[in-house]
């Protein structure tokens, strides 16, 4: 009599475990890649938005404070003002200097605890939105101060968009008046 040899068909337990491990590694890699594709652009956009808001605020404030009469800079003049300054500007129509008051104010942003920074030129003659997503006034976050002894205006602006935050502190000296 001859013995029949059994021919096995299918996978062994070891082969199944190895296949499952390889499939798990590929699945985890695919999930991580998909997560990065979705979240990194959002984080990058939030970061860019925060940087641009702070840049805009710094640009306008720097421009206005440099042209201000140092004797007219008032930091924290009261609600809703954040600070105010006066500028002397040449009016080519009347061929004379005229004084203009600029007030920066932090106003509530709809649906959030963040603020908008507004620039008011000559008491509501012209109001412009300068920056959004500004953190409310708090020590070291968003604040301004005027050092009359050294003629230096210091301002710290913080913008938060999503989980991304950008903070800049600048010091500006008004141009000397003649």
pLDDT digits (tens, 9 = 90+) for 126-150: 789 999 999 887 656 788 888 888 8
Residue 24 lies in a domain: no
Per-residue confidence band for 59, with pLDDT thresholds at 50, 70 and 90 = very high
Residue 58 lies in a domain: yes
Query: How many domains are there within the chain?
Result: 1
**Are 48 and 55 in contact, with CB atoms under 8 Å apart?**
no
Read off the pLDDT of each residue in 108-118 and give the average, rounded to a whole number.
89
Residue 113 domain boundaries: 42-172
**Are 97 and 111 in contact, with CB atoms under 8 Å apart?**
no
Residue 109 lies in a domain: yes
Predicted pLDDT of residue 80: 53
Measured between alpha carbons, how far is 20 from 160 in angstroms, rounded to an integer? 44
Residue 19 lies in a domain: no
Tokens representing residue 22 in the block: 């390889």
Tokens representing residue 88 in the block: 């002397």
Q: What is the pTM of this model?
A: 0.70
50 CA to centre of own chain: 2
């Amino acid at each position: 009599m001859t013995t029949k040899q059994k021919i096995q068909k299918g996978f062994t337990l070891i082969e199944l475990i190895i296949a499952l491990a390889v499939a798990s590694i590929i699945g985890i890699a695919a999930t991580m890649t998909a997560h990065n594709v979705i979240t990194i652009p959002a984080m990058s956009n939030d970061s860019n938005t925060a940087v641009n808001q702070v840049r805009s605020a710094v640009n306008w404030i720097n421009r206005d404070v440099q042209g201000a009469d140092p004797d007219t800079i008032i930091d924290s003049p009261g609600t809703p003002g954040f600070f105010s300054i006066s500028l002397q500007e040449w009016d080519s129509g009347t061929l004379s200097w005229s004084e203009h008051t600029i007030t920066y104010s932090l106003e509530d942003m709809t649906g959030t605890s963040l603020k908008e920074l507004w620039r008011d030129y000559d008491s509501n003659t012209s109001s412009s939105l300068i920056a959004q997503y500004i953190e409310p006034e708090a020590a070291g976050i968003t604040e301004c101060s005027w050092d009359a002894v050294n003629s230096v205006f210091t301002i710290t602006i913080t913008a938060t968009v999503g989980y991304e935050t950008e903070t800049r502190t600048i010091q500006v000296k008004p141009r000397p008046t003649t």
